[in-house]
Chains A and B, each alone.
Chain A
Amino acid sequence: MTSKVRAVFGMPKRLNRSFTVSLMLFALLAVFGSFMVLPLIYAVNNAFKPLDELFIFPPRFWVNNPTTENFADLINLMGNSWVPLSRYIANTLLITILGTAGHILLASAAAYPLAKYRFPGSKVLFTIVILSLMFSPHVTAIPNYMVMSWLGWINSHASIIVPSLAFSLGLFLMKQFMEQIPDALLEAAKIDGANEYRIFWSIVMPNVKPAWLTLMILQFPALWGTDGGSFIYSENLKTLHYALSQIVQGGIARAGVGAAVALLLMIVPITLFIISQSSVMQTMATSGMKE
């Protein structure tokens, strides 16, 4: 009997497992799982609700007569705005692609020596990186603004892209992952006459592809969701997220469009995660911090 239920739940047979406790734990998982997923399902449903269903009392969770009207309205609205939608999309893509690709490249280049060699300063630098994991960017927000204004980068995309290139969590994960590359592989390349840059580029980098995806999944949503923060003021430099959040703030009249926006904003990072899930897990398995 219990083995049948086990098969249904997809539970492999394990030693030392009381079946009752298993069921209780899975019930717990189900309860909290629904707490996690219901708001997201609700966001999907809302995006397809016609206006009368959005304002029905008592409010309903599921959509009855799904419609794509909200998306049509969104396109319409954005088409009539002062700055064309394509401009916001181009800005967001520029920031996201340059920021993510640059981060992967720079973090990998910095992680390789730290993972594989000991040299003067390597320990100190890595300790600083670890320490910097321990505070939030808010601590540096004000001096950051001052640095940015000295550089003359206020109101430019550089103010968002450049700082995001050196995100310390990315360096940390990349270093942990690179430690697993066998030294013999690097030695062999050295004997064949490759220099450090060549080893990094044609041996180390192809071997850490799963970690690239992990850095991407960490960096992408942050940049995708940026609204330009306190650095970008010009309307034509603003991002898609900024433009969409302006619509959401439109209140009741824009409720339908707002729901469509919510769906659009969340769907991109989630899809990306689904695609890269197994690689991300592989990297995270090495993410431990040694004492």
Chain B
Amino acid sequence: MHTRPAGRWSLLKRDLYLSRHYYVLMAPFMLIFFMFTVIPVGISLGLSFFHFNMLELPRFIGWQNYSRLFLGDDVFLIALKNTLLFAVITGPVSYIACFLFAWIINELSPKIRAVMTLIFYAPSISGNVFFIWLIIFSGDSYGYMNGFLMRLGVTLEPIQWLVDERYVLAIVIIVQLWLSLGTSFLAFIAGLQTIDRSLVEAGTVDGIKNRWQELWYITLPSMRPQLMFGAVMQITASFAVAEISIALAGFPSVNYAAHTVVTHLMDFGTIRFEMGYASAIATVLFALMLGTNVLTQKMLRKIGE
């Protein structure tokens, strides 16, 4: 029998053995999670360097998909512009709205708070009810917006809201905002309720004079973890606009006015079957989301300093 000092490997082996039950508990979730999320992301990254149409074998073409995307695809540039516009408008607006409304609602009595929470949260869980907006913005005089404007005398004839390049993007943005008070809104309301009241009282003693100072020096710093979570959820949602655009503006929308990176991805992936090219689009989208998230998290760290 010989003894030797426990090496790194035998330590790890012991750790793995001791934790075997944890791996068993996690196995089913992780197996499915890797199969349908992690591995597909990997495949997508890899495929973006290939020419692949599901019929022939993939052929390696290097950066060609990316150069075609940025240099030879005008529609992609429109889609990118629209998506960034969405992200810049709906991202911050819905994020601030989530917080602002949560903050005001938090001052109400519990019963009214519950009702208001429901009112603001309901659109985001009511499924595909956004098609009522189709009736509201319907292009004939029975559409509510047209009927309303015509009765007021603002316009004399119905406006083709959803087939007119000038309006369609704005309408998609409005409906997207309507739908966007979701998980992060709930997280903010709940987070606000857990703030320690004694912290606020101590702040008052230390010279906090009004609600704005209380917001900046006490409320926001105490909610930093929820704010981070909310940012991730809102950014991801604002970059992924597609269903609303398709439902309201059609696919493709008139002159690509409401085309987004995701609808472009669907176009090449599910209609033209150019899988390599579609994967390159997906990779660009992934990079955009990740980059924005990292930037936003850096900014959020400065709150209340």
Least Cβ distance of A19 to chain B in Å? Answer: 11
Q: Which residues of A contact B194 (CB under 8 A)?
A: 285
Asked if A83 CB lies within 8 Å of chain B CBs, one says no
Indicate whether A33 sits within 8 Å of B285 (C-beta atoms), given known contacts A217-B125, A241-B127: no
Least Cβ distance of B167 to chain A in Å? Answer: 18
Of A33, A40, A59, A196, which one neighbours B22 at CB under 8 angstroms? A196
Indicate whether A289 sits within 8 Å of B101 (C-beta atoms), given known contacts A117-B22, A129-B33, A138-B282: no
Of A134, A266, A269, A277, which one neighbours B232 at CB under 8 angstroms? A134
8 Å CB contacts to B: which residues of A249-291? Answer: 262, 265-266, 269-270, 273-274, 277-278, 280-285, 287-291
Q: Which of B39, B132, B237, B239 has the most A CB atoms < 10 Å from its CB?
A: B132
Asked if A233 CB lies within 8 Å of chain B CBs, one says no
Asked if A202 CB lies within 8 Å of chain B CBs, one says no
Asked if B21 CB lies within 8 Å of chain A CBs, one says yes
Report the bound CA distance from A128 to B30 in whole Å: 11
8 Å CB contacts to B: which residues of A215-241? Answer: 217-218, 221, 224-225, 230, 241
Asked if B131 CB lies within 8 Å of chain A CBs, one says yes
Indicate whether A120 sits within 8 Å of B290 (C-beta atoms), given known contacts A17-B211, A109-B26: no
* Interface membership of chain B positions 232-253, coded 1 if the CB is closer than 8 angstroms to chain A and 0 otherwise: 1101110110100000000000
* Interface membership of chain B positions 10-27, coded 1 if the CB is closer than 8 angstroms to chain A and 0 otherwise: 001001101101111110
Determine whether the beta carbon of A288 is less than 8 Å from that of B228.
yes
Determine whether the beta carbon of B190 is less than 8 Å from that of A284.
yes
Report the bound CA distance from A288 to B221 in whole Å: 12
Asked if B88 CB lies within 8 Å of chain A CBs, one says no
Of B22, B38, B213, which one neighbours A128 at CB under 8 angstroms? B38
Determine whether the beta carbon of B35 is less than 8 Å from that of A147.
yes
Determine whether the beta carbon of B107 is less than 8 Å from that of A133.
no
Question: Nearest CB to that of A252 among chain B residues?
Answer: B142
Least Cβ distance of B302 to chain A in Å? Answer: 12
Question: Nearest CB to that of B127 among chain A residues?
Answer: A225
Indicate whether A107 sits within 8 Å of B232 (C-beta atoms), given known contacts A36-B120, A39-B123, A262-B131: no
Question: Nearest CB to that of A15 among chain B residues?
Answer: B204
Of A9, A221, A274, which one neighbours B118 at CB under 8 angstroms? A274
Determine whether the beta carbon of B204 is less than 8 Å from that of A119.
no
Please report whether the interface of chain A is mostly helix, strand, loop or mixed according to DSSP.
helix
Asked if A144 CB lies within 8 Å of chain B CBs, one says yes
Least Cβ distance of A266 to chain B in Å? Answer: 4
Asked if B64 CB lies within 8 Å of chain A CBs, one says no
Question: Nearest CB to that of B273 among chain A residues?
Answer: A142
Q: Which residues of B contact A218 (CB under 8 A)?
A: 183
8 Å CB contacts to A: which residues of B135-191? Answer: 135-136, 141-144, 147-148, 150-151, 178, 181, 183, 186-187, 189-191
Q: Which residues of B contact A113 (CB under 8 A)?
A: 19, 21-23, 25-26
Q: Which residues of A contact B122 (CB under 8 A)?
A: 36-37, 40, 266, 270, 273
Asked if A1 CB lies within 8 Å of chain B CBs, one says no
Q: Which of B97, B232, B235 has the most A CB atoms < 10 Å from its CB?
A: B232
Determine whether the beta carbon of A138 is less than 8 Å from that of B242.
yes
8 Å CB contacts to A: which residues of B83-126? Answer: 97, 100-101, 104-105, 107-109, 111-112, 114, 116-123, 125-126
Q: Which residues of A contact B240 (CB under 8 A)?
A: 136, 138
Report the bound CA distance from A92 to B227 in whole Å: 35
8 Å CB contacts to B: which residues of A43-84? Answer: 43, 46, 54-55, 57-59, 61
Question: Nearest CB to that of A57 among chain B residues?
Answer: B141
Determine whether the beta carbon of A135 is less than 8 Å from that of B236.
yes
Determine whether the beta carbon of A33 is less than 8 Å from that of B144.
no
Q: Which of A117, A141, A197, A290 has the most B CB atoms < 10 Å from its CB?
A: A141
Q: Report which A residues bind B (CB closer than 8 A).
A: 9-12, 14-18, 21-22, 25-26, 28-29, 32-33, 35-37, 39-40, 42-43, 46, 54-55, 57-59, 61, 106-107, 109-110, 112-114, 117, 119-120, 122, 125, 128-129, 131-136, 138-144, 146-147, 162-163, 165-166, 168-169, 171, 195-197, 200, 217-218, 221, 224-225, 230, 241, 245, 248, 262, 265-266, 269-270, 273-274, 277-278, 280-285, 287-291
14 new A-B pairs (CB below 8 Å) besides A113-B22, A114-B26, A269-B127?
Answer: A39-B132, A42-B144, A46-B132, A57-B141, A109-B25, A136-B262, A141-B270, A142-B269, A143-B40, A163-B36, A266-B126, A283-B190, A284-B183, A287-B187
* A and B contact pairs by CB, cutoff 8 A, 19 listed: A28-B104, A42-B144, A43-B129, A43-B132, A59-B142, A112-B25, A113-B19, A134-B235, A135-B41, A135-B285, A140-B40, A141-B269, A142-B265, A142-B269, A144-B36, A196-B21, A284-B187, A287-B190, A287-B226
